[in-house]
Structure 1
Amino acid sequence: MSFFSSLEPWQLYLFISLVLTYSMVAGGWVLAKAGRSPLWILLLLIPYVNVLAVWAFAYIRWPFVDGRRGE
């Protein structure tokens, strides 16, 4: 029997919310370190938009990295 099927519904919701919160905070921290607004992480909650957001993050200019090239 799997771990998740043995949990009560409220325990499962608590576990999911903790994992989601941790992922959002960690992702916001990564975005801030890359020179972007941490609020970009909210786009990952919207289906289909999350794929576009990850693609845009990968290919747009990075202010922190591009600023170092000019030095």
Structure 2
Amino acid sequence: MGSLSIWHWLIVIGIGFLACYPYVRIIQRTGHSGWWLLAGLIPVLNLITLWVFAFARWPAIDGDRRP
């Protein structure tokens, strides 16, 4: 049993990028930084982040509303 080759690691990084890219685009469309994705990768913090986004004001959407 040996270690993984560089090609295996490149495939893992590529699949990780392809999986995370749509999430970053969605977060950016809400008006927030795409770096919030990193908070979603931490086990307990991801639940807290989900609740924050669920009840927070979204600048991209709230800016379009007129009273």
What is the TM-score when the length of structure 1 is the normalising length?
Answer: 0.69
Instruction: Provide the alpha-carbon RMSD of the alignment.
Output: 2.1
Which structure has the higher relative contact order (CA within 8 Å, separation 6+)?
2
| Deviation for aligned residue 1:43 | 0.7
Q: Once the two structures are aligned, what percentage of the paired residues are identical?
A: 29
Matching residue's letter, 2:22: A
Does the alignment pair 1:32 with 2:28?
yes
Match of 1:56 in 2: 52
Report the Cα distance in structure 2 between the residues aligned to 1:51 and 1:17, rounded to whole angstroms: 24
Structure 2 counterpart SS, 1:54: helix
Structure 2 residues without counterparts, runs of 5 or longer: none
Q: Which residue of the other structure, out of 61, 64, 67, is the alignment partner of 1:65?
A: 61
What is the TM-score when the length of structure 2 is the normalising length?
Answer: 0.73
